[in-house]
Amino acid sequence: MSIKEQYWRFSLIAIIIGLGVVLFTQITPFLGGILGAFTIYVLVRKQMIFLTEKKKMRPSMAALLLLGETTLFVLIPLSLAAWLIISKLQHFSLDTTIILNTAQHLADIIQEKTGYNVLDKENLLNAVAILPKIGQSLVGSISDLSINLVALIFVLYFMLISCRQMESWFYTILPFSQRNKDRVLKEVYLLVKSNAIGIPLLAVIQGVVALVGYLLFSVPQPLVFGLLTCIATVIPIVGTALVWFPLCVYMTITGDWINAIGLGIYALLVISNIDNLIRFMLQKQMADTHPLITIFGVIIGLSLFGFMGIIFGPILISVFLLCVNIFKEQYLDKKLP
């Protein structure tokens, strides 16, 4: 290869990388919608192929039909749940007087026994003041959610109408042998399907089980906290404890000891165990993903991709490990002459 050809090649690579970085940084606000469109595409692509190739339906009509299905069964329920949580939290108020008096009484006892002032009223007021800020943050996220939902619909539509062409183009640019391309694509497909179906199913089951407990033990706004429990299931390690543990504390310091103890026992014995059982059962049935990959993948994915990171974080780690394994098999495991 001549110097001129090398110059052209490396210049083209530099242009591609440079423009790619610029475009990626500018498209970041829409990343959630794009990843969401890719997730739904993986779930409905077989329907699209069936409608266009078996039923001979026009791609545009088939895409609109699947967009209607997506809107009805995915986007509308998610939007309604988000609206319900935000609207309820805006009007949710705590009896701060009881909280302050009870907590201060406990702090006085601790100070009397140990001489250490654990709490004071200023710190308690600052802690309680955080709640309205959380509500304001939730309200501010509505516009981002709306923008990403619109991006999801547009991107998904064009992915569907160019289904075969897009997949063929993507398949040709993968830097693997044909066998390894199939391995990578199969791994991504199984992981997307596993996370996109398994995680929401787990969240719904977990939320319903938690809702039963909230109703049994007289939790205020049980439906709202049931929905928050659904969301909390995606957070590794702590999970639903982010919801039920503060509720137990709140009910304790407001004097509702019996329900607080009952809810704590119910959460530890029922909610937490169902979380562990169903989470790994679903993962094993749909994709053989190691629990550590799921845990660290969600942690990394949430920081990189936002909410969609619960799906694409584990995929990122799994594909990385798969690429390392492919490199090992292809270059390191070969016997030296």
- Residue-wise pLDDT for 125-176, tens only, equals 555 555 555 555 545 555 677 788 888 899 999 999 999 899 899 888 888 8
Q: What is the pLDDT of residues 78-104, one digit of tens each?
A: 777 767 666 665 555 555 565 556 556
CA gap 110, 118 in Å, rounded: 7
Q: What is the mean pLDDT of residues 27-50?
A: 88
- Chain centroid to Cα 249, Å, comes to 27
CB 92 within 8 A of CB 228: no
Task: Compute the distance between CA of residue 134 and CA of residue 203 in angstroms, rounded to an integer.
Answer: 22
pLDDT score recorded for residue 336? 46
pLDDT bracket for residue 48 (50, 70, 90): very high
pTM: 0.73
C-beta separation of 241 from 272 below 8 A: yes
144: tokens are 């981002």
Distance CA 110, CA 113 (A): 5
Would you kindly state where each structural domain of the chain is located, as residue ranges? 175-337
The tokens for 255 are 């004097």
CA distance 147 to 38: 16
